[in-house]
């Protein structure tokens, strides 16, 4: 007789020590011949009756590994179920199994390690009441995430509470709701592209880009800006961020965006470069100048560059409405109050009309290394083109792009 294996799966968190499942199968001549063909083990003790009669068993016997394979059947279809991965199995072959014997395989949970997502089992095969094979096994249980790609503001709003909770859990402080609304919902440039990963109903991973407009040769470029990466602390070893980012970039390219850009921090920058194919400009720094010093800075001219689109009125007006910030224009420069200083968030080259008694923060690159003595901190700018026709084009780097979250 054969007992069929009906598929079932038990979530790791519901597996308990002592749980047990079994499977029975009657060994046939056909089973032995099939296993010999699959395994390559054509030992005549399994296949040749005359040979087997002269052995100590007196009859053909089943392969020991065939009975052990029933453990794998239980693990893959019963407990833990689909997707589990064998990491260890010990075996003791105690008695022979003959044609027409009915083998019952039994696996029993002996240990559950939630942190390492591993389960250990006692494994036993019996014929009647006699143990023919026993041992121990260990299985790794991968996480299967529920994955969403959202490209609709109204749909994203359904998950706002969970996203804000994940932010607090990831960074230890609360996100300003008005800032989130400004970036994702009030953005006039279009809908964000957001990847959300769930473990059951729990949000554990978030990566997003928001649309932002640049200009190149007086033509608008629709691009996306990389936003806050959030992965629940308990899930940071599973490579969630890289998967999410690639999914978001694929969707962004499909929607016609030309590139993604951002200012990754030093900790995350290597991952953006090595695993996500970003080009990084790591020679940037912010320096602090007096008015008089600012007038003496070498003027770097820009031509044939991609720059933030200040000519698009909606794009600019939205950008300067960032909550809890005070932006203002001075000629074509865009400035922001920052503590006792002024950030030059968009550099229009001519600083002659700025207030003389103020100190100013300006983003530079190391081609202007003569001002390194004024450096406040280093900065990194990165990007990845979806439109390869732009791959050799330079960017004009301004804080207006980075100063978003």
Pairing of strands 259-262, 219-226: parallel
| Residue 9: φ, ψ to 5° | -145, 135
Query: Where are the alpha helices (H) located in 214-299, listed in sequence order?
Result: 240-254, 269-276, 291-295
CA distances from 40 to 36, 37, 43, 120 (A): 5, 5, 9, 30
From 93, 119, 94, select the one nearest 19 (Cα to Cα): 119
Q: Does the fold of domain 146-402 match that of domain 12-140?
A: no
Question: Of 364, 373, 334, which is closest to residue 351 (Cα–Cα)?
Answer: 334
Q: What is the pLDDT of residues 119-152, one digit of tens each?
A: 999 999 999 999 999 999 999 998 889 999 999 9
3-state helix vs strand vs coil in the chain, percent to 5: 30, 35, 35
Report pLDDT for 3: 44
Calculate the dihedral angle through the C-alpha atoms of 75, 80, 81, 87, rounding to the nearest 10 degrees.
-50
Supply the pTM of this predicted model: 0.75
Token digits of residue 246? 């690639």
User: Which residues, at least 6 apart from 240, have a Cβ–Cβ distance to it below 8 Å?
Assistant: 145, 197, 204, 205, 231
Those residues with Cβ within 8 angstroms of residue 56's Cβ, 6 or more apart along the chain or in another chain: none
Position 2 pLDDT exceeds 60:
no
**CATH superfamily to which 12-140 belongs:** Hotdog Thioesterase (3.10.129.10)
Q: Domain extents for the chain?
A: 12-140, 146-402
Whose CA is closest to 381, among 308, 290, 281?
Answer: 281
Measured distance CA(316)–CA(272) in Å, rounded? 28
**In the predicted structure, residue 223 carries a pLDDT above the cut 50:** yes
Residue-wise pLDDT tens digits, 299-346: 777 778 999 999 999 999 999 999 999 999 998 899 999 888 999 999
* pLDDT score of 5: 55
Neighbours of 387 (CB within 10 A): 14
Q: The tokens of 263 are what?
A: 């200012």
146-402: which CATH architecture?
A: 3-Layer(aba) Sandwich (3.40)
pLDDT reading at 92 higher than 90: yes
């Amino acid at each position: 007789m054969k007992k069929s294996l009906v598929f079932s799966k038990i979530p790791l968190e519901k597996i308990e020590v002592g749980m047990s499942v079994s499977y029975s199968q009657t060994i046939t001549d056909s089973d032995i011949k099939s296993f010999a063909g699959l395994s390559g083990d054509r030992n005549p003790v399994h296949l040749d009756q005359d040979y087997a009669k002269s052995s100590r068993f007196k009859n053909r016997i089943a392969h020991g590994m065939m009975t052990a394979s029933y453990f794998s059947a239980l693990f893959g279809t019963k407990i833990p179920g689909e997707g589990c991965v064998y990491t260890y199995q010990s075996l003791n072959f105690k008695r022979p199994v003959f044609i027409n014997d009915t083998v019952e395989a039994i696996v029993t949970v002996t240990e559950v390690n939630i942190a390492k997502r591993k389960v250990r089992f006692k494994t036993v095969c019996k014929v009647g009441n006699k143990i023919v094979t026993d041992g121990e096994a260990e299985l790794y249980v991968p996480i299967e995430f529920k994955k969403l790609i959202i490209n609709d503001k109204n749909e994203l709003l359904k998950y706002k509470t969970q996203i804000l909770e994940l932010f607090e859990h990831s960074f230890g402080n609360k996100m300003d709701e008005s800032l989130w609304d400004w970036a994702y919902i009030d953005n006039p440039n279009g809908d964000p592209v957001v990847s959300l990963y769930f473990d059951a109903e729990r949000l554990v991973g978030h990566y997003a880009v928001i649309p932002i407009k640049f200009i190149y040769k007086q033509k608008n470029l629709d691009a996306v800006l990389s936003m806050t990466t959030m992965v629940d602390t308990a899930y940071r070893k599973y490579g969630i961020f890289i998967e999410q980012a690639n999914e978001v970039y694929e969707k962004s390219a499909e929607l016609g965006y030309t590139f993604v850009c951002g200012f990754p921090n030093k900790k995350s920058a290597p991952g953006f470069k090595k695993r996500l194919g970003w080009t990084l400009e790591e020679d940037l720094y912010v320096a602090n100048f007096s008015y008089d010093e600012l007038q003496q800075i070498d003027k770097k001219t820009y031509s044939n560059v991609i720059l933030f689109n200040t000519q698009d009125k909606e794009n600019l007006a939205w950008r300067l409405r960032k909550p809890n910030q005070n932006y203002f224009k001075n000629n074509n420069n865009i400035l922001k109050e920052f503590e006792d200083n002024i950030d030059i968030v968009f550099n229009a080259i001519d600083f002659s009309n700025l207030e003389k008694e103020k100190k100013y923060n300006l983003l530079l690159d190391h081609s202007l290394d003569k001002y390194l003595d004024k450096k406040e901190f280093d900065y990194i700018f990165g990007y990845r083109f979806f439109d390869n026709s732009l791959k050799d084009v330079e960017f004009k780097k301004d804080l207006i792009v980075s100063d978003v979250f």
